Amino acid sequence: MGIKVVTIGGGSSYTPELVEGFIKRYQELPIKELWLVDIEDGKEKLQIIGDLAKRMVKEAGIPMEIKLSLDRREALINADFVTTQLRVGLLEARIKDERIPLSHEILGQETNGAGGFFKGLRTIPVILEIIRDIENLCPNAWLINFTNPAGMVTEAVFRHTNFKNFIGLCNVPLGMHRGMCELLDVKPKRLRIDFAGLNHMVFGLNFYLDGKNIKKEAMAALQRPDSHISMANIMAEPWDPDFIKGLNVMPCPYLRYYWKHGDMLKKDIENFNNNGTRAEIVKKIETKLFELYKDPELKTKPKQLEERGGAYYSDAACELIASIFNDKGDIQVVNTLNKGAITNLPYDSVVEVSSVITKEGARPLSMGDLPEEIIGIVRQIKSFERLTADAAVSGNRIKALTALNLNPLVPSDRIGQIVLDEMLKSHRKYLPNFFNN
Amino acid sequence: MGIKVVTIGGGSSYTPELVEGFIKRYQELPIKELWLVDIEDGKEKLQIIGDLAKRMVKEAGIPMEIKLSLDRREALINADFVTTQLRVGLLEARIKDERIPLSHEILGQETNGAGGFFKGLRTIPVILEIIRDIENLCPNAWLINFTNPAGMVTEAVFRHTNFKNFIGLCNVPLGMHRGMCELLDVKPKRLRIDFAGLNHMVFGLNFYLDGKNIKKEAMAALQRPDSHISMANIMAEPWDPDFIKGLNVMPCPYLRYYWKHGDMLKKDIENFNNNGTRAEIVKKIETKLFELYKDPELKTKPKQLEERGGAYYSDAACELIASIFNDKGDIQVVNTLNKGAITNLPYDSVVEVSSVITKEGARPLSMGDLPEEIIGIVRQIKSFERLTADAAVSGNRIKALTALNLNPLVPSDRIGQIVLDEMLKSHRKYLPNFFNN
Amino acid sequence: MGIKVVTIGGGSSYTPELVEGFIKRYQELPIKELWLVDIEDGKEKLQIIGDLAKRMVKEAGIPMEIKLSLDRREALINADFVTTQLRVGLLEARIKDERIPLSHEILGQETNGAGGFFKGLRTIPVILEIIRDIENLCPNAWLINFTNPAGMVTEAVFRHTNFKNFIGLCNVPLGMHRGMCELLDVKPKRLRIDFAGLNHMVFGLNFYLDGKNIKKEAMAALQRPDSHISMANIMAEPWDPDFIKGLNVMPCPYLRYYWKHGDMLKKDIENFNNNGTRAEIVKKIETKLFELYKDPELKTKPKQLEERGGAYYSDAACELIASIFNDKGDIQVVNTLNKGAITNLPYDSVVEVSSVITKEGARPLSMGDLPEEIIGIVRQIKSFERLTADAAVSGNRIKALTALNLNPLVPSDRIGQIVLDEMLKSHRKYLPNFFNN
Amino acid sequence: MGIKVVTIGGGSSYTPELVEGFIKRYQELPIKELWLVDIEDGKEKLQIIGDLAKRMVKEAGIPMEIKLSLDRREALINADFVTTQLRVGLLEARIKDERIPLSHEILGQETNGAGGFFKGLRTIPVILEIIRDIENLCPNAWLINFTNPAGMVTEAVFRHTNFKNFIGLCNVPLGMHRGMCELLDVKPKRLRIDFAGLNHMVFGLNFYLDGKNIKKEAMAALQRPDSHISMANIMAEPWDPDFIKGLNVMPCPYLRYYWKHGDMLKKDIENFNNNGTRAEIVKKIETKLFELYKDPELKTKPKQLEERGGAYYSDAACELIASIFNDKGDIQVVNTLNKGAITNLPYDSVVEVSSVITKEGARPLSMGDLPEEIIGIVRQIKSFERLTADAAVSGNRIKALTALNLNPLVPSDRIGQIVLDEMLKSHRKYLPNFFNN
């Protein structure tokens, strides 16, 4: 008996956070084996992370076995939970995802704009492969994906496979929740927010403090000058308070890519000219982190990991797994099939939505229609995600071109076509569906 | 007996085209009185147009009376059809609509972006006033509106009044139809196109030649190098053929504002720096036109009017009135209440759609869902139109700010707010709902 | 060149009406060959009908060839239009469809209740076979089906095949239209009615006289004591005027099976005890008709055919074919795919609805939501039809049982099960999907 | 401080169960004052119940004050929770509700058919009055209604008032849950069922044992011969196992009124002829109960109350109040506004659905579309409920007639009209909206 967890992309710099999360929850989530799996190219990092994880577990004094493997199929046998945090093409690919679009003055990063689109094209086929393995080797396992772009990946899974035990996860709602708690100066346990939308395009619709609806107070707090709820990895430009007032919901920070695209683009180009891409900065941070991780005296997650961005990921993932395992019935925000949870989005598409989590997975709360103020941009991005998922699966260049051009951050079909071809060529190795047919 | 038509904004330079249209159709549409109505500021132009109209009618030898009036209410008594082609604030206001946004690098003109938004705010209250007059003075009359932005105006009428005899009309579908006929080298009568979408955001979904579906051929023609279906008043940048292939529907020329926003903005700023606004160019054309119109020897519509843009407007309007009057049951493209005609747009909103025209007005053909490729941008603009209509009626600055910022051509909420306040101040005289409460 | 029409079930007693219809429309619909096809069991009747048809054509002096065949596949080659008016199991089967349910006190006939359900089970597989032949032998032909139960048959075709050139046709809307014309004492050409609903469950929603909405007057007329709009083949019990007033739409006569089920059942049982089934009466009428048809002096459709019921069938069919052939664009009422035409019925189901008829077939007018007063019963019967179509195709007894029990005329699941098994046994020969797997 | 609960209809024979429920939950739900309110006609019963309640509380040794009042408005001041369990017209009215329809061979009782319809007409105006009082006297109070017909009452509240703190409650889902637990031989805590539908027309859609989906096993159990899940007050006729198999969901017992209407009607008429109405039997039980209640030695709820029917009502109500008060976030089945929870029922209507219960009330889980097998009958009854609610509020006889005739248990419009008028006359005193305008 005992739980078996398999983390694909186990050599990620994030893994210590995940390991810490599992250690903290050992009482309620007694993992017997944690398999860290990576590919040949990530072998060295996997070893470093694996050694650190073993020291962490030993320090914590719990009987959780850490297993390392380069053979995904071997690892998956009889798994209970699989987590995916992989990056197809590693940071080198991310550098291209950021550098090429910006060189054509296209805003974005690895989940938005042309960069997000390309990460989607590369990632979706790999996730579908993993699912085929799971269907063979551990068909009852839950796959918890926090590989970006999580929205498109989850869309592809629910529309192009029959695998249902899949949940797409993101730390943005947790970050928004904590941000609002700080603004209102209340403990996280006291505040509930109804979240609905898409991955990286999610909104806080209602706010309950100790069960009482405090939407008015929450919206007022968002209009305060100190309200830059922000994420470490995107610029925290403040919203115009009157715009937020009119919007009457809490937007996630990534909405800045759309509602501040002009300002963001200028800053991103400036940043890029001065400091290169975010990917290049991350690469440096990672190099330092792995230096730290190697230290045999390090037996806990180092503080410096927080700089890396992606805080709360481990929390989100561990909480979700614990709730499924223990059939808790608490409310968490996940990416799953809509099926009418948000009435004015397609029934057969994926949404990010507050859901009751049980052994059966995620059951969305009914959210009704998204308000008129936000449905437009959400519907547009949903179209982009649907078409991108279809393009990734089919490897059809025309479909891909259309999908890319529908993204509002792409300035014209003329440029879209140039960027598409430049990136297809550049990422060719990781796009077998486009080149092997 | 005999038909009474009232044209509000009768002093418009377009009027001779309308008069010509009525003359041509006199047999099937025997108008007894054509009232041309304008405001005090347009008195001189009205007189010039009125005199020309009288000469035209006389030349044609038909018993249609031309009446001029500065008193709208007097003119409306017992009208059968009312057409509106007014411009609140005249071309001076249009110059501001174009100049102010462009000075902040916001793309648009009088139906798109910040300029279209402001034209909407000024126009909607005036159209609602006209409707109140019609409800009192000629409640069974049909109001045929081709005042821009026709989509927002029609939205406001159907959501904020109980007046049902209203049809919003635009020449864009007619232009697209003629463009496709040229591409296919067929006579207009032979080709039917299913149109669906919004005003200035309409799409050709299906194409029938002599009743046979020729969508494949039509889409292939659109991908030919010579396919710039265009309008005189927007730049005819060619679409990327592969993008059009992927789109698999015919977009209206105005989609360039969204799918070529980067390129369009650069050209518009360049044009603006070199030649000033389109409004300023139009003003010069109009001055010349009115010089021509004054010539007592001129007894027909002069060729030069075609330069002005807006070709087929008179055709569209006269055809529509003739079909209503004669209960023809033919198919025309109009702006009217959706009520499920396009299933994935709001039931209670206005759409532009192929409709059967009878004495009862416009009955849309059922179009089902708009394809995934276009629903995103259409839904977004519909949100913008709905919120703008609500802001125009309420005069609420916060609502207006939110509406404006949802427009994808507005680069950031920061700039949106600056432009809003600059324009509110600048157009104050024509925005009583915002300043008189 | 010239049109080729194939009538499957050509030995039907209705055929002379169809032939007459084609003769009358020869100018606009120049049929070169009319093939009458039947099965071996119908050989004798086919000969009689064929001889009469030849005399009729000769008398009319037009060059339409009448061809007789027992080989459906031979007949179908290069057909332009195919009509189906067949009865699987002949009148013997109809007698059982009526006799068995009534013996268990189940109301119905060949389109409603258990009888209609069984006719559906027998007919759907045969129609699907014909479609397979058409796809091979004349893939561009139009199939005009007026075989009952037309709603279920059309549902099965649109949900279980990819054949799109199919239109389900019924004379009930025509009968309702004529009935209303009589009530209002106006010529048929002057009155338009918006029809929407399902086959044998259709409603007149709006009424236009010379293009003017006269719903109030039409509803008032329906409340008059003389308003029993009726069909020859069902009892014309008058509606309670206040009920009709509250309903505020015109119900088709078959609604009596639901809204008068108690009274209808009593009368039907009484009738049955006194006179046997309607099928048995029809059988006698048919015998007489065929005696008449044999008369070599008979060269036109005999008056006595009108007794048979089904008036206007030929009109409906000939009008539809003429409109498709001539791309007329007029409005007719047909059974076709919903695709949002009636917003509160399933998108992928079949509805009966006013449609524009062109060379492309039927394009429904957008009807929006059916009113609350009627959507309940319509949705219930739609479920019954969907499930029956699925049962017919799958031959699954459990599905069939569930479908039957959902029919509101079946008094209990206990009796439903008894009747199902009695009829499955009785019609076994005609239910290969249920017995040959 | 301390909770104030007001029970309107406090003199009901059910009240001791409610009091027992509150006593059992005193630790988590410390009610300070429990007001029992009744009308003048119920004064004597109220006194008996009040005395018993006081003895029960004293026996339990808790400081809950029992207050009796005939003045509803006085009682409501500052209430936290209000429960309604009233019967307009007392059992005398119920006798008519059952006797008159049965005398015309209409099946039903106080929540179904003509009887339910009339109970709705009488009850809705009284509930709306109570809401007006609450809005004035305790606007933050929660109104927990278990007055039948709970579906129509809740529909009327959500469509005809702005009061949101309303939850309609019924014991049927609890009974179905316990029944299934018995069938599966598992403890109630281990089994979760997704419930969706309408009041007295609710279905178990999915079944989870310890978080695992066991739908297959649950459906198989329902097909066992011993599966008559039943309620004390309706006849427990077994379902045909194959029908249940095809249905593939668990129907509530009241569905027998529709899917066994023929059999039920025969039995009900027989019962009625032998024993009179259920109301008359209940009346006798009640008389005996009140005799018992009077006994000063009785200090707890007597066993005999269970005979009365309505088991679990107190459980349902007390659980709901405790969850709201303690912001529990558990899942309970309630009647509340749909807002897309069941996608194929109207957005603005009331449904009965599994919901998360917090201080904010009930938030439905997203259920998507009801299966094709059940949507038909559910949609039909929803229409009936909507129209009945509208008729009750407007007092319009035509609306009432239409609503009644849409009920599938009414055998014909002819009889519907007779019964309507007989009952309007008979209940005139309690139908002020129909007679006082």
Task: Check C14, C26, C254, C257 and give the catalytic one.
Answer: C254
Q: B372-394 and A372-394 helices cross at what angle (nearest 10)?
A: 170
C387 CB neighbours in chain D (<8 A) are 372-373
Size of interface C-D (CB pairs under 8 A): 131
Residue D210 has its nearest CB partner, among A211, A327, A365, at A327
Single pTM value for the model: 0.95
What is the reported pLDDT for D437? 59
ipTM above 0.85, yes or no: yes
Residue A437 scores a pLDDT above 70:
no
Angle value at C-alpha C400, between C395 and C406, nearest 5 degrees: 160
Question: Strand, helix or coil at C150?
Answer: helix
> Could you tell me which residues come within 8 angstroms of residue B132 by beta carbon, excluding any fewer than 6 positions away?
none
Asked if the bond preceding D408 is cis, omega within 30° of 0, the reply is: no
Residue C359 has its nearest CB partner, among B212, B327, B356, at B212
Residue range B240-266: average pLDDT? 95
Chain-wide mean pLDDT for chain A? 93
B213 CB neighbours in chain C (<8 A) are 360
State the Cα–Cα distance between residues B187 and C412, nearest whole angstrom.
62
State the Cα–Cα distance between residues A91 and A282, nearest whole angstrom.
8
Give the model confidence (pLDDT) of A168-188 as tens digits.
Answer: 999 999 999 999 999 999 999
Alpha helices in B199-351 (DSSP H): 215-222, 241-247, 256-259, 261-275, 278-294, 313-326
C382 CB neighbours in chain D (<8 A) are 376
Taking the CA of residue A241 and the nearest CA in chain B, the distance in Å comes to 9
B263–A415 C-beta distance less than 8 A? yes
A377–B380 C-beta distance less than 8 A? yes
Residue C205 scores a pLDDT above 90:
yes
What is the reported pLDDT for C310? 65
D339 CB neighbours in chain A (<8 A) are 343, 366, 368
Give the model confidence (pLDDT) of C96-105 as tens digits.
Answer: 999 999 999 9
Provide φ and ψ at A13, rounded to 5°: -65, -15
Alpha carbons within 13 angstroms on the beta-carbon side of residue C115 total 27
Which chains are within 8 Å of D by 3+ CB pairs?
A, C
Residue C45 scores a pLDDT above 70:
yes
pLDDT-derived band at A229, boundaries 50, 70, 90: low
Residue range B74-81: average pLDDT? 98
Taking the CA of residue A387 and the nearest CA in chain B, the distance in Å comes to 8
What is the reported pLDDT for D310? 65
Per-residue pLDDT tens, chain D, 437 aa: give them.
Answer: 689 999 999 999 999 999 999 999 999 999 999 999 999 999 999 999 999 999 999 999 999 999 999 999 999 999 999 999 999 998 999 999 999 999 999 998 888 899 999 999 999 999 999 999 999 999 999 999 989 999 999 999 999 999 999 999 999 999 999 999 999 999 999 999 999 999 999 999 999 999 889 999 999 999 998 886 554 444 578 899 999 999 999 999 999 999 999 999 999 999 899 988 888 888 898 999 999 999 999 999 888 887 776 667 788 999 999 999 999 999 999 999 999 999 999 999 999 999 999 999 999 999 999 999 999 999 999 999 999 999 999 999 999 999 999 999 999 999 999 999 999 999 999 999 999 75
The structure tokens listed for B402 are: 């939110």
Q: Could you tell me which of A59, A46, A62 has the C-alpha nearest to residue A7?
A: A46
Neighbours of D54 (CB within 10 A): 17
Helices (H) and strands (E) counted in chain D, each on its own, are 17, 13
Task: Check B26, B208, B254, B258 and give the catalytic one.
Answer: B254
Pick the residue from chain C with its C-alpha nearest to D346: C344
Which chains are within 8 Å of A by 3+ CB pairs?
B, D
D380–C380 C-beta distance less than 8 A? yes
C397 CB neighbours in chain D (<8 A) are 242
Give the model confidence (pLDDT) of C145-175 as tens digits.
Answer: 989 999 999 999 999 999 999 999 999 999 9
What is the reported pLDDT for D343? 97
Residue range A36-47: average pLDDT? 96
State the Cα–Cα distance between residues D1 and D237, nearest whole angstrom.
50
Residue type, position B273, single letter: N
Taking the CA of residue B370 and the nearest CA in chain A, the distance in Å comes to 11
C263–D414 C-beta distance less than 8 A? yes
Would you call B254 a catalytic residue per the annotation?
Answer: yes
DSSP classification of residue A342: B
Residue A211 has its nearest CB partner, among D211, D360, D369, at D360
Q: What are chain A's domains?
A: 3-168 (3.40.50.720)
D413–C260 C-beta distance less than 8 A? yes
What is the reported pLDDT for B437? 59
Residue range A272-280: average pLDDT? 89
Give the model confidence (pLDDT) of B301-311 as tens digits.
Answer: 888 887 776 66
Q: Percent of chain B beyond pLDDT 90?
A: 86
pLDDT-derived band at C2, boundaries 50, 70, 90: confident
What is the reported pLDDT for C237? 80
Chain-wide mean pLDDT for chain B? 93
CB burial of residue C437 (10 Å; 0-12, 13-18, 19+): exposed
Give the model confidence (pLDDT) of B297-356 as tens digits.
Answer: 999 988 888 777 666 778 899 999 999 999 999 999 999 999 999 999 999 999 999 999
D375 CB neighbours in chain A (<8 A) are none
Q: Percent of chain C beyond pLDDT 90?
A: 86
State the Cα–Cα distance between residues C200 and D408, nearest whole angstrom.
18
Residue range B65-88: average pLDDT? 97
Q: B372-394 and B150-160 helices cross at what angle (nearest 10)?
A: 60
Question: Which among A338, A366, A375 is the top mutation candidate for probing chain D, defined by the most D β-carbons within 10 Å of its own β-carbon?
Answer: A366
Which DSSP helix (H) or strand (E) runs through B397? helix B397-406
B247 CB neighbours in chain A (<8 A) are 402
Residue B368 has its nearest CB partner, among C329, C339, C358, at C339
D211–A359 C-beta distance less than 8 A? yes
Question: Strand, helix or coil at C197?
Answer: strand
Q: What is the DSSP string of A52-121?
A: HHHHHHHHHT--PEEEEES-HHHHHTT-SEEEE---TTHHHHHHHHHHHHHHTT--B-SSSHHHHHHHHH
Give the model confidence (pLDDT) of B264-285 as tens digits.
Answer: 999 999 989 998 888 888 889 8
Residues of C at the D interface, defined by Cβ within 8 angstroms = 105, 237, 239-240, 242-243, 245-247, 258-264, 372-373, 375-377, 379-384, 386-387, 397-399, 401-403, 405-406, 408, 411-417
The structure tokens listed for C431 are: 């239910």
Question: Which among D412, D414, D417, D420 is the top mutation candidate for probing chain C, defined by the most C β-carbons within 10 Å of its own β-carbon?
Answer: D412
What is the reported pLDDT for D104? 94
Give the model confidence (pLDDT) of C234-290 as tens digits.
Answer: 457 889 999 999 999 999 999 999 999 999 999 999 989 998 888 888 889 899 999
